[in-house]
């Protein structure tokens, strides 16, 4: 540990514990508070020039081809690193134009992107002249997006952390209110495409599923240690898996003789007890449920939705993209509660003002991907965008 407040140059990527609680972090944040924006942007640009060698070589645009990115303006073609080399494919941003329509980026506007991922949404905001503070809990995402967004280093900063804690991190760093905030939740294409991360039931890998590889709970821990009733609840609640009881029972039976360690071991067992009908793999919903539990995704979403409206300027907008009905329901209910000006109860003589009403709904129905986007990116088929706008003070 340094004995005096470190300068920014003294930090190294691995030693910068954004989500830690130690003295170093405290000193770093104190330093940031002093330097405010200038420092924050400096911090944001230096740590993420790590190796991208481990990244998948898959590139849907084709190496070196010049093809417009969906919804984006300039520059055309795949993202490049600071040396001008094409970066490996990471993730295609979904509903990109729709997000821009909602957030209306422009020069001197400040945005928060809580799910930086491959940096697609953030890059589009930056291309419109905005400043962006971004966050991700995945080191690989930070490395990729940091390299991609280096040209915007004077207006872009990325922090490692879970968006459920964003208010604490940004509050300590002295960052002010936003013109717009975005979270595009769930996993990136990179997560699904990387067998070693353990998200895919179609590729052999460790049964891991952590987006933050430093967090203590893996999917293997859940299937090997949770009681049967708890596994069943998770599969029912987070997967809406009709065969939740049967799968939970089979997991507990099988793990007694051989603990689950790999993705294909679990997927194969599920296929045995629930033979395939139709196009969907029988392990799809179980893997979704385990991923949500491993990363505590619903709790993180709820906490973010509670805090985020307080970080918007009047007229500022909050946009959330979800990928399944469980998350979409949480967002819909939270936005409705935030956007209901009056509350009524049978025992009250008349409706009363809602003290928690901070926003107005920008649309009742979620925005979905256009046929053109679906043709380009089938993973956008379940994406739903909802948004609210902060009311005047």
Ligand X SMILES: C[S@@+](CC[C@H](N)C(=O)[O-])C[C@H]1O[C@@H](n2cnc3c(N)ncnc32)[C@H](O)[C@@H]1O
Q: Which residue is nearest to ligand X (CB)?
A: 117
Count of residues interacting with ligand X (CB under 6 A): 23
Piece in contact with ligand X (CB under 6 A), picked from 11-19, 130-138, 217-225, 255-263? 130-138
- Please count the other Cβ atoms lying within 10 Å of the Cβ belonging to residue 192: 19
User: Which residues, other chains included, contact 367 with Cβ-Cβ below 8 Å and sequence gap of 6+?
Assistant: 95, 98, 384, 385, 386
Q: Does residue number 139 form part of the binding site for ligand X (CB under 6 A)?
A: no
- Using the rule CB under 6 A, is 91 a contact of ligand X? yes
By the rule CB under 6 A, 316 interacts with ligand X: no
Q: How many residues are present in the chain? A: 393
Task: Candidates 136, 208, 293, 389: give the one binding ligand X (CB under 6 A).
Answer: 136
Is 373 an interacting residue with respect to ligand X (CB under 6 A)? Answer: no
184 or 373, CB closer to ligand X?
184
Q: How far is the CB of 232 from ligand X (least distance, A)?
A: 25
In terms of CB distance, is 248 or 331 closer to ligand X? 331
Closest to ligand X by CB, 135 vs 157, is 135
C-beta of 211 vs 274, nearer to ligand X: 211
> Does residue 79 bind ligand X (CB under 6 A)?
no
Residue 115 in the binding site for ligand X (CB under 6 A): yes
Q: What mask of x and - would describe binding to ligand X in positions 240 to 259, judged by CB under 6 A? A: --------------------
Q: By CB under 6 A, name the one of 148, 155, 164, 291 that touches ligand X.
A: 164
Instruction: Report if residue 185 touches ligand X, rule: CB under 6 A.
Output: yes
Residues 263-302 that bind ligand X (CB under 6 A): 300
User: Is the previous residue joined to 75 through a cis bond, with omega within 30 degrees of 0?
Assistant: yes
Closer residue to ligand X (CB): 88 or 114: 114
**What is the contact surface with ligand X in residues (CB under 6 A)?**
91, 93, 114-115, 117-121, 135-138, 141, 162-164, 184-186, 188, 211, 300
């Amino acid at each position: 540990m340094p004995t005096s407040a470190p300068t920014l140059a003294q930090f190294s990527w691995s030693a910068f514990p954004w989500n830690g609680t130690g003295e170093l972090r405290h000193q770093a944040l104190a330093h940031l508070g002093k330097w405010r924006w200038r420092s924050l942007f400096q911090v944001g640009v230096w740590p993420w020039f790590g190796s991208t060698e481990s990244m998948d070589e898959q590139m849907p645009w084709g190496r070196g081809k010049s093809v417009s990115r969906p919804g984006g303006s300039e520059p055309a073609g795949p993202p490049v690193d600071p040396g001008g080399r094409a970066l490996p494919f990471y993730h295609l941003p979904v509903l990109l134009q729709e997000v821009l329509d909602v957030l209306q980026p422009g020069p001197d506007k400040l945005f928060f992107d809580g799910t930086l991922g491959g940096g697609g949404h953030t890059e589009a905001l930056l291309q419109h002249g905005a400043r962006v503070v971004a966050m991700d809990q995945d080191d690989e995402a930070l490395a990729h997006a940091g390299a991609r967004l280096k040209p915007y280093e004077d207006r872009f900063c990325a922090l490692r952390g879970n968006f459920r804690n964003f208010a604490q991190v940004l509050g300590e760093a002295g960052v002010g209110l936003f013109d717009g905030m975005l979270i595009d939740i769930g996993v990136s294409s990179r997560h699904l495409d990387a067998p070693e991360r353990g998200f895919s039931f179609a590729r052999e890998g460790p049964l891991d599923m952590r987006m933050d590889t430093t967090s203590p709970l893996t999917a293997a821990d859940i299937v090997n240690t949770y009681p049967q009733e708890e596994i069943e609840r998770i599969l029912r609640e987070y997967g809406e898996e009709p065969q939740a009881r049967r799968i939970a029972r089979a997991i507990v039976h099988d793990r007694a003789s051989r603990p689950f360690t790999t993705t294909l071991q679990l997927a194969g067992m599920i296929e045995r007890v629930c033979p395939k009908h139709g196009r969907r793999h029988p392990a799809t919903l179980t893997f979704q449920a385990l991923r949500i539990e491993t990363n505590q995704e619903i709790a993180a979403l709820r906490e973010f939705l509670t805090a985020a409206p307080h970080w918007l300027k009047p007229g500022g907008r909050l946009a959330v993209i979800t990928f399944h009905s469980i998350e979409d329901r949480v967002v819909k209910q939270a936005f409705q509660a935030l956007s209901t000006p009056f509350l009524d109860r049978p025992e009250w003589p008349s409706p009363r003002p809602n003290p928690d009403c901070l926003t107005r709904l920008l649309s009742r129905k979620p925005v979905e991907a256009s046929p053109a986007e679906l043709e380009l990116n089938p993973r956008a088929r379940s994406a739903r965008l909802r948004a609210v706008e902060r009311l005047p003070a």
